[in-house]
Amino acid sequence: MSLGQPTKRDRQKAILEIVEAEAVGSQEELRRLLVGRGWDVGQSTLSRDLHELRLARVPTDDGMRYVATDQAVETEHARAALETLLPQFFDRVDGVGELVVLHTLAGGAQPVAAAFDTAAWPDVLGSVAGDDTILIICRSAAARERVIRKLEKMAEG
């Protein structure tokens, strides 16, 4: 930490250092590691930091781990990540107009959305994720139908 009052930048730097040095598989594990460094961080603050730092929880050979999405991997790996995550977290999907609302189990929206965004589907303009809900903005109503079909098929595993 810096001299004087610790800043958000200092905290986020500590998060990046931890994730680069260790295989961190959950927010709670990361929170404990931060506490060990003197940062008592709440879940909502940690979630915001992970989002701002573009860190995503992705499947690896050793289980789920946080990684920087800029390091991310090619579209094929992102598709594989989405195919792994979606069946685990999928609850239901619905849509109207150009919008798709994908519901996940609690805590599942962020990792699924990160994998989804990295997969860069051509029918999708973007997405916004909360804790258990992802809003997906499609290019057209027809694109929405294609996206819903793909998500449902992928969720079946």
Are residues 143 and 84 both part of a single domain?
yes
Q: Locate tokens 């994730």: which residue? A: 19
For residue 26, tell me if it sits in a domain: yes
Are residues 44 and 87 both part of a single domain?
no
Mean pLDDT of 63-76: 63
Residue 146's pLDDT band, with cuts at 50, 70 and 90, is very high
Q: How far apart are CA 48 and CA 46, in angstroms?
A: 5
Instruction: With a cut of 80, say whether residue 23 has pLDDT above it.
Output: yes
Are residues 44 and 88 both part of a single domain?
no
pLDDT of residue 14: 92
Question: Using an 8 Å Cβ cutoff, are 28 and 47 in contact?
Answer: no
Q: How far apart are CA 19 and CA 3, in angstroms?
A: 23
CA angle at 39 for the pair 37 and 40, rounded to the nearest 5°:
130
How does the average pLDDT of the chain come out, rounded? 86
Find the domain containing 123 and state its range: 75-156
For residue 110, tell me if it sits in a domain: yes
Q: How far apart are CA 5 and CA 26, in angstroms?
A: 27
| pLDDT single digits (tens) 83-142 | 888 999 999 999 999 999 999 999 889 889 988 888 888 899 999 999 999 999 999 999
For residue 122, tell me if it sits in a domain: yes
pLDDT of residue 20: 84
Identify the weakest region by mean pLDDT among 4-13, 56-65, 71-80, 139-148: 71-80
Closest to 152 (Cα-Cα) out of 84, 102, 97: 102
For residue 15, tell me if it sits in a domain: yes
Are residues 80 and 144 both part of a single domain?
yes
CB-based burial, 83-96: b 16+ in 10 Å, e otherwise:
ebbbeebbeebebe
* DSSP code, position 127: E
For residue 120, tell me if it sits in a domain: yes
Question: Using an 8 Å Cβ cutoff, are 78 and 72 in contact?
Answer: yes
pLDDT of residue 72: 45
The total domain count for the chain is 2
List the CATH number of the domain containing 122: 3.30.1360.40
Mean pLDDT of 43-54: 87
